[in-house]
Structure 1
């Protein structure tokens, strides 16, 4: 359809035309010219009393469907300007292939899908830049879904714990997804979370870094505080002739020094040791990088100086592993990248150097990089300059806009203006074709976890008193462990006719224990003092009472729990209780039913639970939820007493009282079964 005619002065780069039919900004145009057609785009529109004039840029000349090439001759004034049809746009921009990562649809063209070439992304890097709240994490989730679908290994540095939500399907946008031929999907089977602190992030597996590959130079680089030259001299002396680092040996060497300067250095080394992130049995790189798996390094709640240490050492090991071919090619995603590789004027962090190295050299070894940031001006310009594909969402800060213009090819002054006005849900895609494309990002298949928490919104909307709202939350929100199967699931699975399903809440103590280097959770029923083995049936093992034991008896019992079968001599050797007391203690503990004697001594069945607790650990985690229930079971035991009992044998890292949801099923024949 003809929408106007070219007027005024023209060039090989731009032109203007008088609008005669409906036209809008960013519309694609087709201008028949010589033996082909020119593809152009409206970048601005001006209107006066008599007419409307559109300013356009020329994207290229398409000769006989062979793709775009530069226009060498200016268009003629008076040439007709047509609305470009989808087929012409698709062919000209090279969108007809359709393979790769489906990101969304070309703005204003619902039928034109835009995909990223994953081979290019993996080898030439990508960045997602936007101001806070403009959808950068949502867009990143779309890209990551496509990468997971292609079974490309992923490793995500997640400072805020946003990406764990990808385990759940996005059922809220089911209709939108069906409209583009997709369905909601959770990636629980593909995602595994790790964290350096599993107390803060208890749903994660612990990440341990290799102590064996920690060189003296690395250790000095990782020190969380600056040392004077004299203090560095002491540390270098302690590290002399050592190929790798042993914290105990270093502390022993420092302790032997006579200088008072050693105490600061000792404190720093002890601090690194107590972080417990370095291990002789580190998390395997092959475990972290697997086809079809996304490993999330959850740094939520971790101190910045600890995050820097983890990121530096982990990326250093992964990069070396990739260079040696020990792990497959993979894609590295760094969220809030300005915190891990800041521009030099904003400070130097420990992870900057390795990220710069990966940005510059990673493509040679099949290590793709995705940089995500809400402050482009604060990201190392050397890292940004290595990126060839950019997803730019709304940015308004002048310094950030300058940083984008300086690092991204093809960004003109006009384009810079448009970045300020990009609507939420739309991204400017640069690097896929010669000209930036505006793309409406598709709906995510998995749940988005990057929304800001709305504290006051619901109160303002309803014009209710904030304290009244909080009281309602107190009444309705309970710290609860939910069942994996809902009552509706039970009805669907049951082969018998169900009359009624009641929801009971059982009072429990959720506690995290540590023994040696192992941490695990257990759940104790506060109605009967049993460690719950099966949360559906409430089957459990009763904790024995240890009241009235002397310190020596407790010490002997703790040693016995660790070794299970023992002789008096072994108990004496390990407990350091006076030999004259050992036999009396063993006799007393045997009479109380804690020990049994056969050929040797051993633990009674009642006490064996303390040595088996790790085998009955609880993998579910309590959370505050609004829940409807029929009955609350009476609490008969205090959580503090349970913690006191457990602390005799374990380090109690965390404990909190909560509720366990349990379903009571009543069948038609009045037969009750707990599920």
Structure 2
């Protein structure tokens, strides 16, 4: 291999006559003055001899490139030539020397570029594309730790494992996982969660699709690499196992939850909630105070003019409420709006439990999966994330002040699927969790709170949050709006961006400040299955056989049958179908089976007879 053609300090063309190049593979250029330079193949071509009588040579090989090859004594019209455009990983001080030798690297030469940590201290997520030929040189601890999935089963690891240095998130925080439907985004998210559990990193997962469970293991994994994941992950459904304890809320928190339930609160509503709420109020106590004050405001005139229409106790209660709150509340309409939001919030079941189970499991360094509808998760996340973020911040601040009185609370990670629903780019879309997610995106690194946000539509994710995602896993993406954003917010080259719509499922570009360049990675096989991974059409044929199929199976089991005696079989057929049947239906079904070749139809003097096929 050697450098050919015009060179620059950033890029060169490399020629090889023996082997084709691979996109993303690394090469070592031995420049006599610049020394050893490492480059990555960003484009590769193979030019074969033109067939005798072919026309239009310029359409096959660029004229300038052809001229360069002829200059060094190579004629691609008569011999095979392999070419690669190579981008230097570090800009050279001057253009690379023409005809400089080029070779494949040894593993130890490129290991610092490919590995930022080891499997014991990082997340083993896949295999780096273009490193297949380095696989034989890997030390034992890096072999067979990231098998791939070939659609039917596990496939041996081919190349250098991609091990994400999560500890570097302290400097380059937050991770985005982008990809369209069927791209492998959810699959990749599952692998990330498995590795977080492996490292014992406390994690909250917002799961609107109810698919992040880890009970079902994938067969074929070596025993030493598989884990009992059910001990490391817990599932909570909002309103069943977890919720918000109303009596622990202050007035501002109640106002925030009400805003989450029905859009933003007016200033009058927010003031009314904070005014009316009292410390340790139960939900019923607060609702009763709202209802009684609204009634008093609506009936103030009657209470003054005709108090005899009401019981003395009712009048006394109303007068006390009016005396305390009348001048501080704008009117009954404000209270009606609060009541509507409170009732809507209560219907979600969010007040049936509290957040203590979540906190207890986080402290045990477990993965906590919280399930609910997008709306309910949004409301719950707005409360629970702020609560835990404040706890973590208070603990860290107390340590900074040299105090030891703060309640210990561990660093933790927040994972959200369909993240654009929790922090949409449009400010007019109600999203209760957006505010706390933006705050964590901007300030969470200082306190050890990190985001992993997965979405099919990165262009619909809040711009501030998008800008704070220092690492992005970018799977197949086809929408031009999303591709434009990815090009602006990542270090993908123009060539890599053009490849996004055609990436195989489970393959992604990793754009990360931790690596300083983009890597193409094949995500390893997951160790667990999603509960939604089965084929729905297999389920359809297995569990939901059509009535026509059921009738056919019944009749085939009763063969031979004579038309003259069909009447006597109707009760049995009807009982097995669960409804009454007519003789015309049975005759039609038998005729259809004969037409399909599934039974034989014979004409007799006494009518038709149906028999099993010989």
Partner of 2:225: 183
Q: Distance in 1 between matches of 2:258 and 2:347?
A: 14
Larger Rg: 2
Helix, strand or coil: the match of 2:191?
helix
Q: What's the CA shift string for 1:245-280, capped at 9, x where partnerless?
A: 653233333333216634454333233234442369
Distance 1:289 1:209, change over 3 A: farther
Name whichever structure is richer in helix by fraction. 2
2:196 corresponds to 1:159: no
**What TM-score, normalized to structure 2?**
0.65
Whether the 8 Å CA contact 1:168–1:446 is kept in 2: the answer is yes
Match of 2:192 in 1: 143
- Distance of 1:419 and 1:160 partners within structure 2: 25
| Residues 356-505 of structure 1 mapped to structure 2, 5 A cutoff | 356-408=438-490, 410-431=491-512, 432-449=514-531, 451=533, 454-456=535-537, 467=546
CA 450–436 in structure 1, closer or farther in 2 if over 3 Å, else same: farther
Q: Is the 8 A contact 1:209 1:313 kept in 2?
A: no
Let me know the Cα RMSD of the aligned residues.
Answer: 3.2
Distance across 2 between alignment mates of 1:111 and 1:145: 21
Whether the 8 Å CA contact 1:182–1:445 is kept in 2: the answer is no
- Look up the SS of the partner of 2:271 in the other structure: helix
Q: CA deviation at 1:196?
A: 1.4
Question: Is the contact between residue 184 and residue 446 of structure 1 (CA under 8 Å) also seen in structure 2?
Answer: no
Q: Which residue matches 1:618?
A: none
1:333 and 2:415 are equivalent in the alignment? yes
TM (norm. structure 1) is: 0.59
Instruction: Name the CA distance, whole Å, in 2 between partners of 1:469 and 1:183.
Output: 48
- Measure, in 1, the Cα distance between the counterparts of 2:503 and 2:387: 39
Q: Alpha-carbon deviation of 1:369?
A: 1.1
Q: Secondary structure at the match of 1:456?
A: helix
Q: Secondary structure at the match of 2:89?
A: strand
Residue number in structure 2 paired with 1:277: 350
Equivalence for 1:17: 14
Deviation at 1:466, TM superposition (A): 6.7
Structure 1 position 253 matched with structure 2 position 326? no
Tell me how far 1:308 sits from its aligned partner. Answer: 1.9
- How far does the alpha carbon of each residue in 1:523-558 deviate from its partner, in whole angstroms, 9 at most, with x for none? xxxxxxxxxxxxxxxxxxxxxxxxxxxxxxxxxxxx
Q: Which secondary structure does the structure 2 equivalent of 1:355 belong to?
A: helix
In structure 2, the CA distance between the partners of 1:379 and 1:226, relative to structure 1 (3 Å rule), is: closer
For 1:43 and 1:298, locate their aligned partners in 2 and report how far apart those are by CA, in whole Å.
42
- In 2, the alpha carbon distance for the partners of 1:347 and 1:324 equals 31
Kept in 2: contact 1:153–1:329 (CA 8 A): yes
Deviation at 1:131, TM superposition (A): 1.0
Cα deviation 1:33-83 (Å, max 9, x = unaligned): 2464211121112444624432121113xxxxxxxxx42222111112222
User: Quick one: which of 316, 325, 334 aligns to 2:386?
Assistant: 316
Counting only pairs closer than 5 Å after superposition, residues 196-211 of structure 1 correspond to structure 2 as 196-198=238-240, 205-209=241-245, 211=247
State the distance in 2 between where 1:134 and 1:469 align.
37
Structure 1 counterpart of 2:86: 56
* 1:118 CA drift (Å): 2.1
Question: For residues 448-482 of structure 1, what are the alpha-carbon distances to aligned partners after superposition, in whole Å with 9 as ceiling and x for unaligned?
Answer: 3453x63336879x9xx97279859x99xxxxxxx
Q: What aligned pairs does 1:480-629 form with structure 2 within 5 A after superposition?
A: none
Tell me the equivalent position of 1:625: none
CA offsets, 1:366-419, max 9 Å, x none? 1121111111111112111111122111111111111212222x2221221122
Q: Is the 8 A contact 2:115 2:163 kept in 1?
A: no
Post-superposition Cα deviations, 1:196-245, rounded to whole Å, max 9, x if no partner, equal 143xxxxxx3333554234336525633335896xx63663454264656
User: Compared with structure 1, are the counterparts of its residues 257 and 276 closer, same or farther at alpha carbon in structure 2 (3 Å cutoff)?
Assistant: farther
Evaluate the alpha carbon distance shift between residue 367 and residue 228 of structure 1 in structure 2; reply closer, same or farther with a 3 A threshold: closer
Deviation at 1:139, TM superposition (A): 1.3
Check conservation: 2:11, 2:87, Cα contact below 8 A.
yes
Q: 1:72 to 1:214 in 2, by over 3 A?
A: farther
Distance 1:363 1:243, change over 3 A: farther
- CA distance in 2 between partners of 1:348 and 1:265 (Å): 17
Tell me whether 374-383 or 241-250 shows the greater mean CA deviation: 241-250
Write out aligned runs for 1:96-175 (5 A): 97-98=118-119, 99-108=121-130, 109=132, 110-121=158-169, 124-164=173-213, 166-171=214-219, 174=220
Give distance in 2, aligned partners of 1:7 and 1:221. Answer: 66
CA distance in 2, matches of 1:184, 1:470: 42
**More strand per residue: 1 or 2?**
1
> Retained in 2: the 8 A contact 1:377–1:400?
yes
For the structure 1 residues 13 and 458, does the alpha-carbon distance in structure 2 shift closer, same or farther, using more than 3 Å as the test? farther
Give me the whole-angstrom Cα distance separating, in 1, the residues matched to 2:103 and 2:445. 42
Indicate the residue corresponding to 2:369 in structure 1: 296
Return 5+ residue gaps in structure 1 as ranges.
61-69, 199-204, 476-675
> 1:54 aligns to what SS in structure 2?
strand
1:45 aligns with 2:44: yes
Q: Contact 1:156 / 1:295 at 8 angstroms: preserved in 2?
A: yes
Do the aligned partners of 1:155 and 1:297 also contact (CA within 8 Å) in 2?
yes
- The CA deviation at 1:312 is 0.7
Q: Which residue of 2 aligns with 1:565?
A: none
Query: Number of paired residues?
Result: 440
1:90 deviates by: 1.7
Distance 1:36 1:182, change over 3 A: farther
Structure 2 CA distance for aligned equivalents of residues 26 and 189 of structure 1:
39
Unaligned residue ranges in structure 2 (runs of 5+): 48-59, 62-75, 133-157, 299-330, 396-406, 555-614
Alpha carbons of structure 1 residues 450 and 125: separation in structure 2 relative to 1, 3 Å: farther
**1:634 match:** none
- Displacement, 1:119? 1.2
